[in-house]
Structure 1
Amino acid sequence: MTSPATDPSASRERPSLTSVVDCAVYVDGVRQPGRWTHDEAIAEVRRRGTGFVWIGLFEPGADQIQGIAATFGLHELAVEDAVCAHQRPKLDRYGETLFMVLKTVRYVEHESPTTANEIVESGEIMAFVGHDFVVTVRHGDHSQLGVLRADLEGAPERLQAGPAAVLYGLTDHVIDNYLAVTEAFESDIDQIEALVFAPRSPVEVEQMYLMKREILELRRAVAPLQAPLRRLAEGADRVVPDQIRSYFRNAEDHLTVVAERVAGFDDLLTTLVNVTAAKVSLQQNGDMRKITAWAAIVAVPTMVVGIYGMNFDHMPELHWTFGYPLVMGVVLLACLLLYRTFRRNNWL
């Protein structure tokens, strides 16, 4: 008899095992013992007539997810989005299955915002939610869904609500990360603001545009998620039971706080960019005034030397003994008067 490890048909039946992080069966909110494949898990749930399956995938390829897609009846367009990633946050319905995309973010630690090349790192979580299953697809290494799963398993009463409880847990987990990132980002912006208004600031316009770009990345994660959360909170989808909708309303409130913070950051950074550009312009104007002032001072001896360098025989004081010291004195006095005038007008 050919073993499953060497049977080619077995590899075709289980094409997703290389990307499966965890597969579990939950009955009355309690994880059932044993190791399950996706087809065994859903067969057990449907045999019992209660419970649900939660499968976690990490960056699966098209070939790896096909077996799971066929078992759970996932729509091909949603499967394609889950594999390709780079989707904006959204909520789609395919028959009796919800497909939700969440953008994850992580704050990148750095010594100073003035030298950082990246502040916000993003990833994605996709969730297929049916009446008796949840399939999560993760892109990026910072989502920590293992921690979320452990927290939910530690509170079986939450998982008793079914797959919608997992969807809320995912959403709440992602929004909590948004809050943490915005709090860290706020300290960076405070530091940048202090530097911008400090004399001889080291902050340049390029660094300000980097901060704007990072805020834009955060906004792309937050803003599109508001409509899907409102839809879930208002009960537009039957997959989400009534007892979970109030939790989504709470998540929507938290997301609103994040959105307001991000909008405030964007407005403040726009102001700081304008201030920085104005400071650069003033600095350039100051440099030009200094260059012009020194050029005017140097023009005086240059003009006098040019005149006396023409070697005419009949020139004033050309053969006078004190002519040279007198001319040098007049040139020096003129230069000093110009220097004093420019210093009084803050040109030097």
Structure 2
Amino acid sequence: MLETTEQDPPAEPAAGRRVRAVSWHPAEGFRRRLPASHIDRALAREGTLVWLDITDPQPGDMRLLRDEFGIHHLALEEVVTPHPRPKCAEYPGAYVMAMYATGVCASGEIDLREVVIYAGRRFLVTAHRRALPEIDECLRRWEANAQGILDGIAAPLYSLLDTLVDTCFPVVDVLAERIDEAEDRILAMRNGEGAPDIYLLKKDLLRLRRVVAGERDALNLLLRQDVEVIPPASALYFQSVYDHLVRLVESIDTYRDLVSNAMDIHLSVVSNRLNQVMKTLTAISTILMSTGLISGIYGMNFAYMPELKLRYGYYGALGLMALIALGLAAFFRRIRYI
């Protein structure tokens, strides 16, 4: 939607690096190709809003953020510091949020892409290490929300947060399908296959919940404070995003319970199969012990054993062992041991 514009890059721009800016003025509308060198002029005009998006930020970008937007130097450290979970913090002149866009890789693993957000009274800055195609959708939504629905920087901020949260729903749907497939494999499994899927699902759900719950807490903190960038009339829209996050957390907790139940079912199935194996081994051992008892008795080296002189004693012993083995086999089969 937007093209790369003027920027202050290092001598050798990193692969995949991109800096783009867009501005909006109530009278002129959107300017989709705002050079970075014109940001100060745009901000000097009353009523102008500026959104700067940076992919793979470099040291020169830190100077740009400090000089053009007046962002505190401690807040700038948020760009270079990885965040284990989402957060929201207030600095002089801007609120800083660490949020995540979620997706599913081709391998089936959850893909979490961090984006740092600076929200001031008339500017919005997003910085992320990896490409974030969702930014184009955010800008499209900003255009839809800028026509009087939301005031000030709340329009692009709401568009951004709403888009990032919406990326979680397809991920949850994919995990739900994987849980159903894992349950079906568990019930029909042979030799314990399917168990690794359960543990991977539980790990993915834990990672996703850590992100979604952190975003819920960060947005709740933003809503509960008297934030200049969110006018009271716009708070309802951010409350809607918060409600989506609450629903996502509840859904993830439900699926985590389903995974726990699936693990219990897996352990029960494995235990039942082990019990059946032990029953079979017990039956076989009992049969062999019974026949071994007879052969052991007649294998003793005593001089006087009356049965040893019987003409058909050998065949009688074999017949007795066969009779006992068949009787025990029929008994164990009746009680479902074999």
Q: CA deviation at 1:35?
A: 4.6
Partner-residue secondary structure (3-state), 1:194? helix
Aligned residue pairs, count: 328
Q: CA deviation at 1:150?
A: 3.4
- C-alpha distance in structure 2 between counterparts of 1:159 and 1:133, whole Å: 18
Q: Which of 93, 96, 121 is equivalent to 1:96?
A: 93
Partner of 1:120: 110
Change (3 A) 1:308 1:81: farther
Change (3 A) 1:33 1:118: closer
Q: CA deviation at 1:143?
A: 5.0
Q: 1:39-65: CA deviations, max 9, x gaps?
A: x2321123323312211112324x243
Partner-residue secondary structure (3-state), 2:309? coil
Stretches of structure 1 lacking an aligned partner (at least 5 in a row):
1-9, 110-116
- C-alpha distance in structure 2 between counterparts of 1:231 and 1:182, whole Å: 24
Partner of 2:256: 266
Partner of 2:137: 147
Instruction: Write the mapping of 1:8-157 to structure 2, written as runs, cut at 5 A.
Output: 14-15=9-10, 19-28=17-26, 30-32=29-31, 34-37=33-36, 40-61=37-58, 63-71=59-67, 72-108=69-105, 118-141=108-131, 143-153=133-143, 156-157=146-147
- In percent, how many aligned pairs have the same letter? 27
Q: CA deviation at 1:198?
A: 4.5
Instruction: Write the mapping of 1:207-226 to structure 2, written as runs, cut at 5 A.
Output: 207-226=197-216
Instruction: Write the mapping of 1:243-322 to structure 2, written as runs, cut at 5 A.
Output: 243-322=233-312
Amino acid at match of 1:293: A
Instruction: State whether residues 104 and 122 of structure 1, in contact with CA within 8 Å, keep that contact through their aligned partners in structure 2.
Output: yes
Instruction: State whether residues 126 and 137 of structure 1, in contact with CA within 8 Å, keep that contact through their aligned partners in structure 2.
Output: yes
Instruction: State whether residues 235 and 242 of structure 1, in contact with CA within 8 Å, keep that contact through their aligned partners in structure 2.
Output: no
Scaled by the length of structure 1, the TM-score of the pair is 0.84
Instruction: State whether residues 235 and 245 of structure 1, in contact with CA within 8 Å, keep that contact through their aligned partners in structure 2.
Output: no
Q: CA deviation at 1:283?
A: 1.2
Amino acid at match of 1:41: H
- C-alpha distance in structure 1 between counterparts of 2:287 and 2:120, whole Å: 82
Instruction: State whether residues 159 and 166 of structure 1, in contact with CA within 8 Å, keep that contact through their aligned partners in structure 2.
Output: no
Change (3 A) 1:158 1:21: farther
Q: 1:202-249: CA deviations, max 9, x gaps?
A: 654332121111110110111122232223334521121223211001
Q: Which of 174, 184, 203 is equivalent to 2:174?
A: 184
Instruction: State whether residues 290 and 325 of structure 2, in contact with CA within 8 Å, keep that contact through their aligned partners in structure 1.
Output: yes
Change (3 A) 1:172 1:34: closer
Instruction: State whether residues 187 and 269 of structure 2, in contact with CA within 8 Å, keep that contact through their aligned partners in structure 1.
Output: no
Change (3 A) 1:34 1:252: closer
Change (3 A) 1:156 1:165: closer
Q: CA deviation at 1:200?
A: 5.2
Partner-residue secondary structure (3-state), 1:317? helix
Change (3 A) 1:161 1:20: farther
Q: CA deviation at 1:27?
A: 1.8
Q: CA deviation at 1:134?
A: 1.2
Amino acid at match of 1:87: P
Amino acid at match of 1:318: L
Q: CA deviation at 1:151?
A: 3.7
Stretches of structure 2 lacking an aligned partner (at least 5 in a row):
1-5
Partner-residue secondary structure (3-state), 1:88? coil
Scaled by the length of structure 2, the TM-score of the pair is 0.86
Instruction: State whether residues 30 and 153 of structure 1, in contact with CA within 8 Å, keep that contact through their aligned partners in structure 2.
Output: no
Change (3 A) 1:215 1:258: same
Instruction: State whether residues 91 and 100 of structure 1, in contact with CA within 8 Å, keep that contact through their aligned partners in structure 2.
Output: yes
Change (3 A) 1:196 1:34: closer
Change (3 A) 1:314 1:60: farther
- C-alpha distance in structure 2 between counterparts of 1:263 and 1:345, whole Å: 42
Structure 1 residue 344 and structure 2 residue 334: aligned? Answer: yes
Instruction: State whether residues 49 and 152 of structure 2, in contact with CA within 8 Å, keep that contact through their aligned partners in structure 1.
Output: yes
Change (3 A) 1:47 1:142: closer
Partner-residue secondary structure (3-state), 1:318? helix
